[in-house]
Each structure stands twice: as structure tokens, then as C-alpha cells.
């Protein structure tokens, strides 16, 4: 099982899209500044979490979300 996730930072008003097999550990790494691309947006919060069966599915979905843009993906699929 893998998770595709979208994080949001109020500090930087940015979204971040990623995939992992352990969302709690990954969020902790983001909020500890151990991920270079999210270091300047701490604290991050999970705004969307989608579970898929395989890592390859997760990578495909992550790419689709990044191509569309996280905000637009959320608005289109979840009406938020």
C-alpha cells in the first residue's frame, strides 16, 4: 500500500505533492526540515491523502497531480 499526499504550508502559501509508504514518518521528515524542497515552508499539514495499491500507481497519480497542479486537482476532484 502506498499513499499519494498533498501538503499545504500556511507559512509559504504553497502545496507539495509526494508519495510514500508511511505518511506519518514522511510528514515528520517534512516538518523537521529534513526534506530540501519543503524546508522553507514549515509547518506542513496534510490536506489530501489518497491510498493506492502499488508504488507504480502512486508514481503515476503523483505525476498527474503535479501536472495539473495540486490546488486545481483538489478543486476538480473534491470541490474544495
- The 3-state DSSP class for residue 12 equals coil
69 lies in which domain range?
Answer: 2-78
Q: Are 63 and 69 in contact (CB under 8 A)?
A: no
Residue 2 is predicted with a pLDDT of 98
- Number of domains comprising the chain: 1
The enclosing domain of 65 has a CATH number of: 3.40.1440.10
Whether pLDDT at 30 is above 80: yes
Q: Give the confidence band of 80 by pLDDT, cuts at 50, 70, 90.
A: low
Residue range 8-15: mean pLDDT, rounded: 97
Residue 77 is predicted with a pLDDT of 87
Residue 68 is predicted with a pLDDT of 95
pTM of the model: 0.94
Q: Are 58 and 18 in contact (CB under 8 A)?
A: no
Amino acid at each position: 500500500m502506498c499513499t499519494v499526499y498533498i501538503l499545504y504550508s500556511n507559512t509559504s502559501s504553497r502545496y507539495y505533492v509526494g508519495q510514500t509508504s508511511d505518511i506519518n514518518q514522511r510528514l515528520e521528515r517534512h516538518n523537521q526540515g529534513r526534506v530540501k524542497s519543503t524546508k522553507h515552508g514549515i509547518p506542513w499539514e496534510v490536506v489530501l491523502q489518497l491510498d493506492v495499491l502499488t508504488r507504480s500507481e502512486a508514481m503515476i497519480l503523483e505525476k498527474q497531480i503535479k501536472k495539473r497542479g495540486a490546488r486545481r486537482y483538489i478543486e476538480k476532484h473534491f470541490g474544495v
